[in-house]
Amino acid sequence: MIKIGADSITKRFGEHLLFRNLAFSAESGESFYITGANGSGKSTLLQILAGIQRPYSGHVTWEKNNVTIIPDDYLKYSGFTGPQVNPYEMLTALENIEFVSGPDVDLHNVNELLERFGIYKERNRQVKFFSSGMKQRLRIINAIINDPPVIFLDEPGSNLDVEGKAILYSFIENLKPGKIIFIATNEPDEIKLCSRGIVLDDRYL
């Protein structure tokens, strides 16, 4: 059981205040959305929760079975994907997945996910030849291949066609039990996947 808490999180970039005094928590089995206007800080908040960025003030805590996890270890328990997370274009899809796979992942798991997300036939093709939708599918596979207990998805449905979104949403529904899923999005269908969430608006400025 993992619990993630955000306490009085404030983020500013120089003089520009992004948000102030955010406080919430989530635990295993919950899915949490982060939504708001463009530029409201959805991606930044997601990265703060994942330990990729530091807040200006406040703190994030992760606990596993009531034992605190240090920030340097957050990424060991999580998978993250977003528009800024780009696989290597000179590597094939399979090589990219193998690059991020841990020792517990075998080829069967990989092929299963490739099939599930509809890019199995392209697995030996260099990513530079992929469409934006195919790259997005690969990004999602990279985030979940190690079966992490916490998953951060930044605009997961972007660039996906109708079929791709259907596959993604169905996959997220199956992932929910036992995992914490954070989704930063403005898509109503993705917000509906979550049990609760936060809207970054003027209340946090």
Residues of this chain that bind another protein (CB under 8 A): 52-54, 75, 80, 82, 84-91, 95, 98-100, 103, 126, 142
DSSP annotation string for 108-164: HHHHHHHHHTT-GGGTTSBGGGS-HHHHHHHHHHHHHTT--SEEEEESTTTT--HHH
Q: Which CB, 90 or 205, lies closer to another protein?
A: 90
User: Torsion angle of alpha carbons 66, 69, 75, 79, nearest 10°?
Assistant: 10
| Strand-strand pairing, 180-184 and 150-154 | parallel
d(CA 79, CA 131): 23
d(CA 121, CA 126): 12
52, two tokens: 């990729």
67, two tokens: 């034992």
Q: Which CB, 87 or 197, lies closer to another protein?
A: 87
H or E segment at 6? strand 2-13
Q: Which CB, 6 or 169, lies closer to another protein?
A: 6
What minimum distance in Å lies between the beta carbon of 36 and another protein?
A: 21
Number of residues that make up the chain: 205
What minimum distance in Å lies between the beta carbon of 152 and another protein?
A: 10
Q: Which CB, 25 or 53, lies closer to another protein?
A: 53
Q: Which CB, 12 or 199, lies closer to another protein?
A: 12
What minimum distance in Å lies between the beta carbon of 9 and another protein?
A: 15
What minimum distance in Å lies between the beta carbon of 17 and another protein?
A: 18
What minimum distance in Å lies between the beta carbon of 90 and another protein?
A: 4
Q: b or e along 40-52 (b: 16 or more beta carbons within 10 Å of the residue's beta carbon)? A: bbbbbbbbbbbbb
Q: Which CB, 45 or 169, lies closer to another protein?
A: 45
What minimum distance in Å lies between the beta carbon of 51 and another protein?
A: 9
39, two tokens: 């530029």
